[in-house]
Amino acid sequence: MNKKVLFISGLLLLNGCSTFVDDQYQVAPTGKAVTQIEKAKQLPITMDKEIKIAVTEQTQVLDIDSIDSPSVIFELPMVKNGLAINIEAEINDSVFVPSAKVINQSGEIRAALGDSDLVYLKPRLADGNRLQGNIKVHPQMGDSALYLVIFTDKDKLNETVAVSHPAKLDAEGRGNYLPEVDDIQVPRALTGTFSIEATALGSRTSDQTIVLPALSATERPQQESVSFYHQAIRAAIADSDVDKAMGLLRDAEQLGITDADQVFRDAMKAQLDKQ
């Protein structure tokens, strides 16, 4: 897995200008909160790479669907088998406690992560105290776009996050235990740093990373999808993996590829003729 880290500071500005690693993230200030996803600045996701984000006072504020805080929005790829997204927030003098929602082009929520779903990770090697959570999402029929929105709960800024005292961590590292040492309470904040990494969900083959075009209930499958499934079914049968071929056939039929069954039968006949 490629762990190249991209550091992006801020997003759509409310005041002033922003400095990014790449010019594609240079945008003009808006001066007010964004109330529509499609009008907000969206970042692309690079699969299997950790992306590090700094949420600052200049980060765009999203005011939509009970979200009212600095927010980072990613446009997700439409991966057939779905995505697993890992989110880790750094805990320093304060912490941006991340919540997340995956929203489609119509504003429907496909997946969500609340701060109660986060777990505390103790410092390890180069990593300090962190909050970590996972979110999984599967594209559904009718989804033409999916957006990952990461924000924080503004109503909980008076709360704290408990982290292990350094003395306790040191004692644990030496095989001792200090029960009398209290945890440190770190305040929540509207700013902070977090990282995300997206990977394709389980598949036994490299097909898991194939990105397919979206398909609505009234659309015909695009030629890219048709060719992919035709080839994959033939290859599976040629390898005598009928179970895999049948699984591909079911997926193809769900996407509206009506001739997949004929491709399956023809490939089976050709394989039998060879024997």
Q: Is residue 208 part of a domain?
A: no
CA distance 204 to 244: 10
Taking CA 160 as the corner, what is the angle to CA 155 and CA 166, rounded to the nearest 5 degrees?
160
Residues 116 and 70 in one domain: yes
Shared domain for 51 and 133, answered yes or no, is yes
β-bridge partners, 86? 134, 197
Based on the fold, state whether residues 167 and 227 are members of the same structural domain: no
Q: Structural domain of residue 229, as residue ranges?
A: 220-274
Residues 225 and 196 occupy one common structural domain:
no
184 and 99 housed in the same domain: yes
> Where does residue 153 rank: exposed (0-12), middle (13-18), buried (19+ CB within 10 A)?
middle
Number of domains present in the structure of the chain: 2
Least confident of 53-57, 141-145, 209-213, 262-266: 209-213
pLDDT band at 192 (very low <50, low <70, confident <90, very high): very high
Answer for the pair 115, 97: CB distance below 8 angstroms, yes or no.
yes
CA distance 70 to 167: 34
Measured between alpha carbons, how far is residue 134 from residues 21, 95, 114, 117, 196 in Å? 26, 18, 10, 8, 9
What is the average per-residue pLDDT within 22-47? 66
Verify that 34 and 116 share a domain, yes or no.
yes
**CB count in 10 Å sphere of residue 141:** 12
Of the residues 200, 229, 246, which one is the last residue of a structural domain?
200
Predicted pLDDT of residue 13 = 30
Residue 207 lies in a domain: no
Looking at residue 223, its pLDDT comes to: 67
Confidence of residue 86 (pLDDT cuts 50, 70, 90): very high
Smallest CA-to-CA distance from 197 within 98, 99, 83 is with 83
Confidence of residue 237 (pLDDT cuts 50, 70, 90): confident
The answer on pLDDT for 160 being more than 80 is: yes
241 and 126 in a common domain: no
pLDDT band at 224 (very low <50, low <70, confident <90, very high): low
| Residue 31: pLDDT over 60 | no
Listed as own residue / partner, the contacts of 106-109 with beta carbons closer than 8 Å and 24 or more positions apart are: 106/142, 107/37, 107/65, 109/65
Judge whether 17 lies within some domain: yes
Residues 193 and 226 in one domain: no
Does residue 205 form part of some domain? no
Residue 72 lies in a domain: yes
Same domain, 254 and 168: no
Which one is predicted more confidently, 261 or 88? 88
The verdict on residue 210 lying in a domain is: no
SS3 for 132?
strand
pLDDT at 155: 92
How many CB atoms are located within 10 Å of the residue 11 CB?
A: 27
Q: Is 115 in contact with 156 (CB distance < 8 Å)?
A: yes
What φ, ψ does residue 136 adopt, rounded to 5°? Answer: -120, 145
Q: Which amino acid is at 202?
A: G
**Residues 104 and 231 reside in one and the same domain:** no
104 and 194 inside one domain: yes
pLDDT value at residue 158: 95
The confidence score (pLDDT) of residue 169 equals 73
If one compares 176 and 164, the residue with the highest pLDDT of the two is: 164
Confirm whether 1 is domain-assigned.
no
Q: Are 56 and 10 in contact (CB under 8 A)?
A: yes
Domain-embedded: residue 215? no
181 and 46 within one domain: yes
| pLDDT score, position 2 | 43
21 and 155 Cβ atoms separated by less than 8 Å: no
Block residue for tokens 């990770």: 121
Residue given tokens 């008076």 in the structure block: 158
For residue 28, the model assigns a pLDDT of 37
Contact 41, 73 (CB under 8 A): yes
